[in-house]
Structure 1
Amino acid sequence: MDVERGSITETPTWSKSKTCTFPQIPKGSWDSHMHIIDAERYPFVADARYIPPSHLLPQALEREAELGIDKIVLVQPSVYGNDNSCLLDALRARGPDNARGVVAFDPLTTNLSTLRKWHHLGVRGVRVNFQSVEKKINSERELELLLRRYAHLIRPLDWVLQLYISLSCVGMLERILPPLRIKVCLDHFGCPSLPPTLYANEEDEQERYARILADISSLARLLEYSRTYVKISAHYRLCEDVSQLEPIARMLLTVANGEKVVFGTDWPHTRYSGVNIEPFVQVVLDWCNADQGLINRVFRDNAATLWDARTSDCQGRL
């Protein structure tokens, strides 16, 4: 059942008065992946895989200001299931000129009227999460039917189908997604399963990495020839050493002149306490090779296109 509750009437105060850490990040930039959690006001689902502390909107905005980021995309965390109340109330508080939302819902019990109501608040996508909840994919046909159901509902609003799914499934996605004629965004570098170490004398590790590179090539084709984007985000969920992601990131940044990549902080880094995101932001800037045009696309322009935010009019396509 898809539900929402409550209302926030007070808009959090926020001042971008602190010196921004990264002057290269352009004005109007976006964090395309972050979460708001209020453990006191909005209870978690009974089968939540983890119990995070509260991380509220004012905290998020202060953190974004330190990075030089102006606008946010609130993504539904798995601990709330299909109850989008916390996310929708945060969207009401922040306002559609400065935020977008990616909700979760059951396509069998949700109608277009509900989606239109959420659209006016700034929602522009639905998240289908296979990773956090360890949802099993039994067959390509089953995956195709599920994604078709979501596509049928969101296509009239030109929403994004956001997938948190293993990179090993990209071969199936390369066949399934283009005919759906919708925007798609893949979480966290496409979610490759990286080996913990890579040594030239360990044949199994080399073969595993070769399979990953083949999947990345498939992902690159998907980005090139469809309306699919990928987020550079949450490196710590994939590997301990971010340098392992460099060849993947550089390949993604060359596809379509870097127009299919968006940046996300994954704040507040649930299940990974004490993450300092600044070094990763600098790494992303380094991957852009001091190309300000590419930096602008990754941090601002691509997100504005993906999340239907080229203008301040929230009504978008109705």
Structure 2
Amino acid sequence: MVDRRQMLVATGAALGATSLFGIGKVMGKELGHMSPIGFAVPAGVVDSHCHIFNPEKFAYSPKRKYTPPPATVQDLQRFHAALHVHRTVLVQPSVYGTDNACLVDALGQLGKDARGIAVIDKGFSGQQLDDLAGAGVVGVRINLEVGKDRDFNSAIARFEQTVETLRGKPLIVQVYAALPVLADLAQRIQIQPHQVVIDHFGLAKAADGPEQGGMSALIGMMQSRKVFVKLSGPYQISLQKPGYADTAAIGSTLVQASPDQVIWGSDWPHTGGSERPANAKPTDIEAFRSEDEGRNFALVKSWAPQAAQRHKLLVENATRLFGFGSRTA
């Protein structure tokens, strides 16, 4: 009997046999300078948000909005070793659309210490969802932000379609959307059956502080224990490069409000690093951000000043949510 994971991977690899990057060796994501982290990193840290890009083996979607360079499993492992991170949640990036073969391949390489968040559409069958779950996928992502889709009716339709497609299967629903959209979705999120994860601080604007519109709705969803929020990618909400110090107020507010519902993610390898010219095409290769990984990780102490808070943020909450310890292969 052919392993279903191998079938998923083989399909994507066949499509990627002729890559836009050619057949020569392409450099992956290098590990740059790292500042001291500044706190004792606990055992069992979960990076709940990172991506793999392997265009030499798995071709990007022709409908993608941008074209990143490679960032492989081996690159990710070097990064995690430097930070003393032990577990990984890979998130399907938008450039692969609903072809999750690269994600499945990476999960196979990483084994029991990895989980995946896939992207699906309404055409996915129950068997396809079961195959993804068998490969280590624990949730699906709704991305409303890459296309800047901030229409309320569109957001509702996408969310309800995803819930319907899951047909009650015990998968997490992950949402990447602007804070006003999340506030509009709050009631629908509360009444559906799945655990929900919100990306990147709910895209609260650091400059506007914790009193900005939408924060109370986000905190209310967290306190209902239906919703987890990722404290991930500080540059997603801050313009204060390179230290992103103004994220402290947002991060600490979320930690204090609901310490059991926050999880940390690196957002490695940090897409969106180039200022796109007005005439840029989606096929133009867009460099990753140049980030000081140690300095970004050190921000955790400003969001969660107490060691017990940091342990929940970095280890306990994500271990429980993503089911680490329950997968044997």
Question: TM-score, with normalisation over the residues of structure 2?
Answer: 0.79
Tell me the equivalent position of 2:268.
267
Q: 2:310 aligns with which of 295, 303, 310?
A: 295
Give yes or no for the alignment of 1:253 onto 2:255.
yes
Tell me the equivalent position of 2:238.
239
- Aligned-partner Cα distance in 1 for 2:211–2:127: 41
Amino acid at match of 2:113: N
Q: 1:99 aligns with which of 108, 114, 121?
A: 114
Query: 1:308: Cα distance to partner?
Result: 2.0
- Aligned-partner Cα distance in 1 for 2:328–2:185: 30
- Aligned-partner Cα distance in 2 for 1:230–1:287: 13
Q: Is the 8 A contact 1:223 1:229 kept in 2?
A: yes
- Aligned-partner Cα distance in 2 for 1:211–1:101: 31
Deviations 1:32-89 (A, max 9, x none): 0000001211111113222111110011011011101001001011111111111100
Give yes or no for the alignment of 1:163 onto 2:162.
no
Secondary structure of the structure 2 residue equivalent to 1:144? helix
Number of equivalent positions: 282
- Aligned-partner Cα distance in 2 for 1:307–1:80: 22
- Aligned-partner Cα distance in 2 for 1:181–1:113: 20
Tell me the equivalent position of 1:117.
131
Query: 1:135: Cα distance to partner?
Result: 2.8
Q: Is the 8 A contact 1:137 1:143 kept in 2?
A: yes
Give yes or no for the alignment of 1:307 onto 2:308.
no
- Aligned-partner Cα distance in 2 for 1:224–1:155: 26
Q: Is the 8 A contact 1:22 1:68 kept in 2?
A: no
Amino acid at match of 2:143: N
Query: 1:112: Cα distance to partner?
Result: 1.6
Give yes or no for the alignment of 1:216 onto 2:215.
yes
Q: Is the 8 A contact 2:152 2:181 kept in 1?
A: no
Q: Is the 8 A contact 1:55 1:268 kept in 2?
A: yes
Query: 1:192: Cα distance to partner?
Result: 2.1
Of 298-307 and 232-241, the range deviating more from structure 2: 232-241
Secondary structure of the structure 2 residue equivalent to 1:25? coil
Amino acid at match of 2:197: C
Tell me the equivalent position of 1:86.
102
Q: 2:198 aligns with which of 186, 191, 194?
A: 186
Tell me the equivalent position of 1:71.
87
Secondary structure of the structure 1 residue equivalent to 2:220? helix
TM-align CA RMSD: 2.3
Q: Is the 8 A contact 2:204 2:250 kept in 1?
A: no
Give the 3 Å change call, closer, same or farther, for CA 157–27 of structure 1 in structure 2: farther
- Aligned-partner Cα distance in 2 for 1:74–1:32: 7
Give yes or no for the alignment of 1:147 onto 2:147.
no
Structure 1: any 5+ residue segments left out of the alignment?
9-19, 196-208
Tell me the equivalent position of 2:189.
177
- Aligned-partner Cα distance in 2 for 1:38–1:227: 34
- Aligned-partner Cα distance in 1 for 2:167–2:297: 33
Q: Is the 8 A contact 1:162 1:187 kept in 2?
A: yes
Secondary structure of the structure 1 residue equivalent to 2:213? helix
Tell me the equivalent position of 2:142.
128
Deviations 1:89-138 (A, max 9, x none): 0111111x2000001010x2001211111111110010110111223425
Amino acid at match of 1:265: S
- Aligned-partner Cα distance in 2 for 1:132–1:147: 16
- Aligned-partner Cα distance in 2 for 1:168–1:243: 23
Of 297-306 and 268-277, the range deviating more from structure 2: 268-277
Secondary structure of the structure 1 residue equivalent to 2:299? helix
Query: 1:265: Cα distance to partner?
Result: 0.5
Of 146-155 and 68-77, the range deviating more from structure 2: 146-155
Query: 1:235: Cα distance to partner?
Result: 1.2
Tell me the equivalent position of 1:202.
none
Amino acid at match of 1:281: F
Give the 3 Å change call, closer, same or farther, for CA 221–253 of structure 1 in structure 2: same
- The 4+ residue runs of structure 1 with deviation greater than 6 A are none
Tell me the equivalent position of 1:42.
58
- Aligned-partner Cα distance in 2 for 1:119–1:5: 14
Give the 3 Å change call, closer, same or farther, for CA 212–111 of structure 1 in structure 2: farther
- Aligned-partner Cα distance in 2 for 1:22–1:100: 28
Q: Is the 8 A contact 1:102 1:123 kept in 2?
A: yes
Give the 3 Å change call, closer, same or farther, for CA 133–143 of structure 1 in structure 2: closer
